[in-house]
Amino acid sequence: NGSTVESLDYEVVENFAYREEQAKRGKLYMGYAVLVKWFLALLIGIGTGLAAVFINLSVENFAGWKFSLTFQIIQKSYFAGFLVYILINLVLVLSSVYIITCFAPAASGSGIPEIKGYLNGIDTHGILLFRTLIGKIFGSIGSVGGGLALGKEGPLVHIGACIASLLGQGGTTKYHLQSRWLQVFSSERDRRDLVTCGCAAGVAAAFRAPVGGVLFALEEVTSWWRSQLMWRVFFTSAIVAVVVRTAMGWCKDGNCGHFGAGGFIIWDISGGQEDYSFEELLPMAVIGVIGGLLGALFNQLTLYMTHWRRNYLHKKGIRVKIIEACLISVITSAISFGLPLFRRCTPCPEADANSGIECPQAPGMFGNYVNFYCQNNKEYNDLATIFFNTQDDAIRNLFSAKTAHEFSAQSLLTFLVMFYTLAVVTFGTAVPAGQFVPGIMIGSTYGRLVGMFVVSFYKKLNIEEGTYALLGAASFLGGSMRMTVSLCVIMVEITNNLKLLPLIMLVLLISKAVGDAFNEGLYEEQAGLRAIPLLESRPKYQMRYMTAKEACGNQNVVYFPRVVKVADIVSILRSNDHNGFPVVDHARSGETLVIGLILRSHLLVLLQSKVDFQHSPLPCDSRGDLLPIRHNLSEFVKPVSSKGISLHDIHFTPDDLEMYIDLAPFLNPSPYVVPEDMSLTKVYNLFRQLGLRHLLVVPRPARVIGMITRKDLILED
Amino acid sequence: NGSTVESLDYEVVENFAYREEQAKRGKLYMGYAVLVKWFLALLIGIGTGLAAVFINLSVENFAGWKFSLTFQIIQKSYFAGFLVYILINLVLVLSSVYIITCFAPAASGSGIPEIKGYLNGIDTHGILLFRTLIGKIFGSIGSVGGGLALGKEGPLVHIGACIASLLGQGGTTKYHLQSRWLQVFSSERDRRDLVTCGCAAGVAAAFRAPVGGVLFALEEVTSWWRSQLMWRVFFTSAIVAVVVRTAMGWCKDGNCGHFGAGGFIIWDISGGQEDYSFEELLPMAVIGVIGGLLGALFNQLTLYMTHWRRNYLHKKGIRVKIIEACLISVITSAISFGLPLFRRCTPCPEADANSGIECPQAPGMFGNYVNFYCQNNKEYNDLATIFFNTQDDAIRNLFSAKTAHEFSAQSLLTFLVMFYTLAVVTFGTAVPAGQFVPGIMIGSTYGRLVGMFVVSFYKKLNIEEGTYALLGAASFLGGSMRMTVSLCVIMVEITNNLKLLPLIMLVLLISKAVGDAFNEGLYEEQAGLRAIPLLESRPKYQMRYMTAKEACGNQNVVYFPRVVKVADIVSILRSNDHNGFPVVDHARSGETLVIGLILRSHLLVLLQSKVDFQHSPLPCDSRGDLLPIRHNLSEFVKPVSSKGISLHDIHFTPDDLEMYIDLAPFLNPSPYVVPEDMSLTKVYNLFRQLGLRHLLVVPRPARVIGMITRKDLILED
Ligand SMILES: Nc1ncnc2c1ncn2[C@@H]1O[C@H](COP(=O)(O)OP(=O)(O)OP(=O)(O)O)[C@@H](O)[C@H]1O
Ligand SMILES: Nc1ncnc2c1ncn2[C@@H]1O[C@H](COP(=O)(O)OP(=O)(O)OP(=O)(O)O)[C@@H](O)[C@H]1O
Ligand SMILES: [Mg+2]
Ligand SMILES: [Mg+2]
């Protein structure tokens, strides 16, 4: 299990090959590199935007077709309709789980914890591959179209990240273009920036919320942020908005079936409540508290579920995973179809000519007040209005204004309990699954419930239940994912009601505070479970009392001499699984001197290519030769999410093993070092802020060669 | 000049006193510290909110009174009205410039470059003092109320920062509370966080844009950002919103004179254009280009102006500054009153019952279509509508929808040229001055101009000139200040039109790109001029070819031995102006060993208190005593923005000079070090990311004691 994650090297290895490359590059090259970066940002935006449009289009068409077929059939027989409904869902879910289990196992779940890990410096194998991208796209069409209690927003973030990473390395891991123009992206750091852009693009595409996307990437996903990056991410998001908008404009004319009917803003409630009074703050605070509690509970329950799944259920093989998902699909379909049948219908409210809301609507119109299994044709079924519907439409109904008393408390409560349970149970099955939309569903249900009481309590005030539903949604997401600013902006962008912003802030503050009292955020919990060792931005408290030396314990440092026999390299590499080794040389005076750090992956490249083997055990520069450059810098870059070269695959002749390699041209000559008695807090800050992988602990220096202050770093152009 | 700025020490000095403090503190203390931090965030929010309300209230009442008085008088005589108008403005400006020059010189200008410097690690003297706060508050009331071409938004950021810093140190620099509960904030790092909160609060209060405030602090002002801070800043902003909203609600009932009439959203245009067609993208791109050009030109012109002012004009003393400001005030008043008089009046448009816009309005009503010096009472003066008005109302008129063809191209052009010139000339006078609102004025003028052409060109489309004015405003700010995300959010929050967000993004991208081609952002340019050496987040290109050793040149490092004679300390401190000195000791084997770094300011504290002087030249621990703790940790903390102790003020007896001090308990035992041949890029990253002040360049280590990787830093609780 521990072998599926590996740290990334964000540090630039300033070895000989790198310096040569740098020396060859002029100012012009820099301008070109910048251009390529922006061009890639553009491509990421376009790619993610198109992927989102494709997914949305497919999901809405599948779902639309499913519902209209079912509705047609239930005109004759409810039972036949029930069977067809279950069957269609089952087929969709089955296709999804099949794709995931047999083709792209890394594409299950939301992918956000893994991406968060990647941007924190941990590479999970398989997470950014081409097959994962494909699996994620088609898998989420199946799982979301199949009506499970999950969303497509998390997967879209993952999709954006995959697209970004693939573009950055010029194609799939096996067959990527080794074209010169992509060598700009030879460092992990540049790739990290691209992936950040991809995440932002994913959110921007999922919610059609460009600014929310930028902030999501900034607040929730990345661990390092630079202000230049902000602008590039912003650009990508803007491109996504343009692409999605254009596609929607094109679809509006009916080119895309069921897709494209709504506006750019998903759940526009701008016509609703605009003002609020002080009396309302108390019930809103209550919503915040409920959100915090239910959110924390959700995190805890899903943690147990996932834990149990990993350790018992999913160990039994692929078949169990498939059966599990199918079972959940059948249960979900049965509940969402069956429960509304048991619900008594409600008479339509007094017709209000102004509001423009009809009652009842024919089933299949996806509006409020759906007539489902009602005898009287002036009645509607409130449970069916939210349960037997796509999640998007259900949320629209829950958010809707001017529909006071549409739902009964009983229906909402039933729905809340059922959907919450389904969301918990569905979490962790082997399908792509986001938690955003289910969270909004859950939150808006209890929000609307609270809103109902407020409406009947304060009769005079101009209160909309839909507003409370919105606040409920914000509170649940805040209580579960623990985001603040980005969530605020996303909520505003998806509902287009800026006047409610202060209320959303209030609710989020409360729900996050309440949730934090119980456990960590959803993504952190899940990352922990998947053994992704995220480094938080703040050092642990007990680190204050520890020093760097204590942190390494009494380890025996494995090191290499400068010129080393191939046989020795092989045996040392076999004997441990460290990934970096200090290289030690002897100075003329006979003292030892640490001349750098060599990475395991670079050693493997050297061993595989064999061009640097030499017969003499002397350093190459001492023989008077110039250092030959036999390697291209990009050879040393490991493709993302793959294991790289393995020692077992390299074949050595006995002659090879007797040869030597001079490591000097290939090592990182200046790794970061810390004195042995530096407190671990400071070490942690250094490690975390710079995104390091290795840090050498060294003795106190004997003398100071110079002092560097701000003045020395301000260079004139 | 160079002596007015000094670096800040964000590094925690882990000396003996610090370790003692830490050891005494338990978990409980940590909780308490967190509580205090949140409490201070609350106080900052309340304080900044109240300050903003106070300033707004005063400015609007002064301006309202001024305009209504003038309007009353011009019913009888335009000339008398002219004189009264000039006189009132003059008195207000005079009071402002008097306060600034004689009482709080650090309060002139916007203050944002200095705050940016502070958060980058440079302390400008006087910038965060209590008197600066007072000067800024009353000064901006005078300068904004006096009708100069400047705004109160930049000053509000500075005010927020001052309030935060004062709260953090418990009062003014001279008389601050040395209460125990504030000792939580003994580190510069905590103060930096507070100041960040203060900046966000300032923007949130100025624009009533809480999310915009958070993003402004994040994108434009701070140099380091941690995700925990995000939440605290968000909280502060929310509090500001609550405070301002509450105050406005209270004022709505007429308690505050002219203030409180408008809604929470400053320039609400939510009723305007909601959709846009592809044809409109071209003129919008043109607006972006114009914004970039005019913004860059503005930065360049103000740079020359400020340069000239500093080097010639303001050297001549306070009186020149006062005369200059008064002159500008008189010119501004004359132009804003006089120019509309020369303008021919326009007949009112056809009355439209639905729009609810009256024409003409009586002067003094501050709406559109003001009748000023018009004979016919069905006429209005379009230049007076924007020029002879408060800036807030002028912007509201420029943004207004359903008022097509209100302004003539000639008037807008006149206004643009005049106001642009005034804004450039006013910049840098000795009054508090923000550039946000003038920027919005300029931008919305040419935006509306473009909009007029678009309206008459594409006759059929549903286009509002006000939308173009908004885009123009965004483009000018983007071209001058070079912000992206924060500006986007601020623009949306002040106009409440979310649907225009993608357009604003587009325009900002273009204008920033165009502006960046010419020069740096306004605040960076100004910081450069004020000799505030900001460290950018990206290292310079040529640093790749330099090593750490080359950066320090061949400096002779000034160091101290561990036990040092007082006379030696004094003479060394006198002989140079370095702020940190390595301390070297002899190991038992006779070799030297660098045991730490001592700061000049700490040495001065030791010299002043004299309690650590000892007669023996032996280290204190070698004498078998325990290290005595005679100092409280907070004694070592320098008050913000003040020079601290000066060596000249300390009096030494000849006996004192013969004594010794053991520096070991007071030095920083583990300063960050870099090996001599590390490339300057890496050194720069280290220095910048960790916010250092001193970095020791040391020889390559002889051996490696241990390796620290991620695994070693993940501690179990
Ligand atoms: N060259 C080395 N000699 C001795 N101990 C080492 C060496 N390199 C690493 N270690 C130690 O071995 C342990 C595991 O090291 P490893 O290199 O696998 O790092 P890691 O934290 O697992 O990260 P990753 O393997 O993903 O880079 C750590 O405790 C580390 O201190
Ligand atoms: N102890 C020292 N010995 C020798 N040179 C030093 C020493 N400390 C600093 N210097 C050098 O002297 C120059 C100015 O140092 P100084 O300490 O004034 O720093 P600064 O950049 O001005 O920042 P600040 O003074 O605000 O901390 C720098 O070039 C620095 O490298
Ligand atoms: Mg490992
Ligand atoms: Mg100095």
| Unique residue bearing structure tokens 């709504």 | A262
Q: Please, which residues have CB within 8 angstroms of residue A305's CB and are 6 or more apart in sequence?
A: A424, A425, A427, A428
Q: What is the pLDDT of residue A182?
A: 62
Q: Are B551 and B524 within one domain?
A: no
Q: Are B523 and B558 within one domain?
A: no
Q: How confident is the model at residue B255 (pLDDT cuts 50, 70, 90)?
A: confident
Does any domain span residue B713? no
Supply φ then ψ for residue B135, to 5 degrees.
-60, -40
Instruction: Locate the chain A residue with the closest alpha carbon to B246.
Output: A278
Residue B498 Cβ < 6 Å to ligand 2: no
* Alpha-carbon gap: B537 to the closest alpha carbon of chain A (Å): 7
> pLDDT by residue (tens digit) across A60-106?
899 888 988 988 898 888 899 999 999 999 999 999 999 999 999 99
User: Which residue CA neighbors atom 27 of ligand 2 most closely?
Assistant: B7
Q: What is the pLDDT of residue A183?
A: 61
Does any domain span residue B72? yes
| Burial (0-12, 13-18, 19+ Cβ within 10 Å), B282 | exposed
Q: Are B504 and B556 within one domain?
A: no
Does any domain span residue A232? no
> pLDDT by residue (tens digit) across B188-245?
888 899 999 999 999 999 999 999 999 999 888 988 887 778 889 999 999 999 899 8
The amino acid present at A341, given as its one-letter code, is L
Q: How many residues does chain B have?
A: 717
The amino acid present at B227, given as its one-letter code, is S
Choose the most confident range, by mean pLDDT, from A469-478, A638-647, B492-501: A469-478
Please provide the distance, in angstroms rounded to a whole number, between the alpha carbons at the two ends of chain B: 51
Does any domain span residue A700? no
Ligand 1 atom, smallest distance to B711 CA = 21
Q: Say whether pLDDT at B174 is over 60.
A: yes
Residues of chain B contacting A669 with CB distance shorter than 8 Å? 677
Contact B707, A555 (CB under 8 A): yes
Q: Are A476 and A575 within one domain?
A: no
Q: How confident is the model at residue B1 (pLDDT cuts 50, 70, 90)?
A: very low
Residue B581 Cβ < 6 Å to ligand 2: yes
Average pLDDT in chain B:
88
Does any domain span residue A625? yes
Rounded distance between C-alpha atoms, residue B487 and residue B491, angstroms: 6
Q: Are B306 and B438 within one domain?
A: yes
Residues of chain A contacting B241 with CB distance shorter than 8 Å? 501-502, 505
Q: Are B161 and B205 within one domain?
A: yes
Q: Say whether pLDDT at B343 is over 90.
A: no
**Helix (H/G/I), strand (E/B), else coil: A203:** helix
Q: What is the pLDDT of residue B369?
A: 80
Does any domain span residue B556? yes
Rounded distance between C-alpha atoms, residue B34 and residue B40, angstroms: 10
Q: What is the pLDDT of residue B697?
A: 95
pLDDT average, residue stretch B441-453: 95
Consecutive H or E run containing B526: helix B522-529
Q: What is the pLDDT of residue B181?
A: 59
Parent domain of B412: 278-319+340-529
Rounded distance between C-alpha atoms, residue B528 and residue B512, angstroms: 19
Please provide the distance, in angstroms rounded to a whole number, between the alpha carbons at the two ends of chain A: 51
Contact B527, B116 (CB under 8 A): yes
In chain B, what percentage of residues exceed pLDDT 90? Answer: 51
Measure A578 CA to ligand 1 centroid, in angstroms: 5
Q: Are B506 and B553 within one domain?
A: no
Q: Say whether pLDDT at A2 is over 60.
A: no
pLDDT average, residue stretch B315-336: 93
Q: Are A524 and A561 within one domain?
A: no
DSSP B221: I
| Unique residue bearing structure tokens 């490339």 | B679
Q: Are strands B560-561 and B580-586 parallel, antiparallel or unpaired?
A: parallel
> pLDDT by residue (tens digit) across A471-485?
999 999 999 999 988
Q: What is the pLDDT of residue B178?
A: 57
Q: Are A496 and A640 within one domain?
A: no
* Alpha-carbon gap: B504 to the closest alpha carbon of chain A (Å): 10
Does any domain span residue A133? no
Q: How many residues does chain A have?
A: 717
Q: What is the strand order of the sheet B592-599 is part of? A: B560-561, B580-586, B592-599
Residue B468 is part of a domain; what is its CATH number? 1.10.3080.10
> pLDDT by residue (tens digit) across B448-475?
999 999 988 887 777 889 999 999 999 9
For residue B281, give Cα distances in angstroms to B286, B330, B480, B507, B510: 9, 41, 22, 9, 12
Per-residue tokens: B435:
């550039």
Q: What is the pLDDT of residue A181?
A: 58
Q: Are B309 and B405 within one domain?
A: yes
Nearest to B7 among A30, A582, A710 (CB): A710
Q: Among A500, A529, A558, where does a domain finish?
A: A529
Number of domains in chain A: 2
DSSP A233: H
Q: Say whether pLDDT at A617 is over 90.
A: no
Rounded distance between C-alpha atoms, residue A139 and residue A126, angstroms: 16
The amino acid present at A712, given as its one-letter code, is D
CB contact under 8 A, B709 and A580: yes
Does residue B628 have a cis peptide bond before it, meaning omega lies within 30 degrees of 0?
no
Handedness of CA B409, B410, B416, B417 (dihedral sign): positive
**Smallest Cα–Cα separation from A443: which of A475, A421, A412?**
A475
**Smallest Cα–Cα separation from B236: which of B156, B154, B164?**
B164
Q: Say whether pLDDT at B692 is over 70.
A: yes
Q: Are A456 and A581 within one domain?
A: no
Residue A711 Cβ < 6 Å to ligand 2: yes
Per residue, the 3-state secondary structure of A556-603, as one string, reads CCCCEECEEEHHHHHHHHHHCCCCEEEEEEECCCCCEEEEEEEEHHHH
Q: How confident is the model at residue A626 (pLDDT cuts 50, 70, 90)?
A: low
* B695: β partners: A708
Q: Say whether pLDDT at B173 is over 70.
A: no
> pLDDT by residue (tens digit) across A330-351?
999 999 999 988 888 888 887 6
Q: Among A473, A501, A529, where does a domain finish?
A: A529
Instruction: Locate the chain A residue with the closest alpha carbon to B487.
Output: A211
pLDDT average, residue stretch A171-177: 65
Handedness of CA B584, B586, B587, B590 (dihedral sign): positive
Q: How confident is the model at residue B2 (pLDDT cuts 50, 70, 90)?
A: very low
* Alpha-carbon gap: B141 to the closest alpha carbon of chain A (Å): 27
In this structure, the dihedral spanned by the alpha carbons of residues B198, B204, B205 and B208, taken in order and rounded to 10 degrees, is -170
Q: Please, which residues have CB within 8 angstroms of residue B291's CB and are 6 or more apart in sequence?
A: B443, B472, B474, B475, B476, B477, B478, B479, B507, B510, B511, B514, B515
**Helix (H/G/I), strand (E/B), else coil: B116:** helix
Contact B205, B48 (CB under 8 A): yes
Q: Are A508 and A564 within one domain?
A: no
Residue B7 Cβ < 6 Å to ligand 2: yes
Q: Say whether pLDDT at B650 is over 60.
A: yes
Q: What is the pLDDT of residue B148?
A: 94
Q: How many CB pairs under 8 A join A and B?
A: 338
Does any domain span residue B707? no
**Smallest Cα–Cα separation from B465: which of B412, B388, B410, B389?**
B412
